[in-house]
C-alpha cells in the first residue's frame, strides 16, 4: 500500500486556471513538504510544514499556496496557472522536520499546463 498518496497522478490544465494537488501520508509523520521536478532540472524544494504549520516557503510566487486541513494532509493550490508551471510535483514527509529524518516521497502529480 502506498504510504503517501498523491492525487491526481496526471493533470492537464488550461493557462489561467486553478488546480489543487492532493497529498495524504499514512506514516504518522509530523513534517510534510512539496518539491517540484521540471524536465532536466534537479528536484526543487518549495515548502515545508511541521505540525500543520508552514515553516519555510522557497516559492517566489504567491500563486502557490499549501493547505493543511489535517496533520497528515498537505495540499497544494496553484492559481493562475502558466505553462512554466508544467512539472511533476512531489509531496514528501518525514518523522520530524530536519536533515536527519528519513524522507519518504509520493509518486508525484505530473502537471501539464497548456
Partner 1 sequence: SQWGEENLQALSIQEGEDVTMNCSYKTYTTVVHWYRQDSGRGPALIILIRSNEREKRSGRLRATLDTSSQSSSLSITAAQCEDTAVYFCATDAKAGNYKYVFGAGTRLKVIA
Residues that bind partner 1 (CB under 8 A): 4, 31, 40-45, 48, 55-56, 58, 90, 92, 97-100, 102-108
Shortest CB 16 distance to partner 1, Å: 28
For residue 32, the cross-strand partners are 49, 93
DSSP helix/strand/coil, 85: helix
DSSP strands (E only) in 10-114:
10-13, 19-25, 31-37, 44-50, 53-57, 64-67, 75-78, 87-94, 103-105, 109-113
Q: Which CB sits closer to partner 1, 64 or 90?
A: 90
CA–CA separation, 114 vs 25, rounded Å? Answer: 30
Q: Which CB sits closer to partner 1, 85 or 109?
A: 109
Shortest CB 87 distance to partner 1, Å: 13
User: And the C-alpha cell for 18?
Assistant: 486553478
Shortest CB 81 distance to partner 1, Å: 22
Q: Which CB sits closer to partner 1, 7 or 17?
A: 7
Q: How many residues are listed for the chain in this entry?
A: 114
Shortest CB 15 distance to partner 1, Å: 25
Q: Which CB sits closer to partner 1, 43 or 80?
A: 43
Amino acid at each position: 500500500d502506498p504510504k503517501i498518496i498523491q492525487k491526481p497522478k496526471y493533470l492537464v490544465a488550461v493557462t489561467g486556471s486553478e488546480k489543487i494537488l492532493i497529498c495524504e501520508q499514512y506514516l504518522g509523520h509530523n513534517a510534510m513538504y512539496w518539491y517540484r521536478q521540471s524536465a532536466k532540472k534537479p528536484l526543487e524544494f518549495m515548502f515545508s510544514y511541521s505540525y500543520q504549520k508552514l515553516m519555510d516557503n522557497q516559492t517566489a510566487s504567491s500563486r502557490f499556496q499549501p493547505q493543511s486541513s489535517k496533520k497528515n494532509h498537505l495540499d497544494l493550490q496553484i492559481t493562475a496557472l502558466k505553462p512554466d508551471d508544467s512539472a511533476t510535483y512531489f509531496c514528501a514527509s518525514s518523522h520530524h522536520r530536519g536533515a536527519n529524518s528519513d524522507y519518504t516521497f509520493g509518486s508525484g502529480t505530473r502537471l501539464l499546463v497548456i
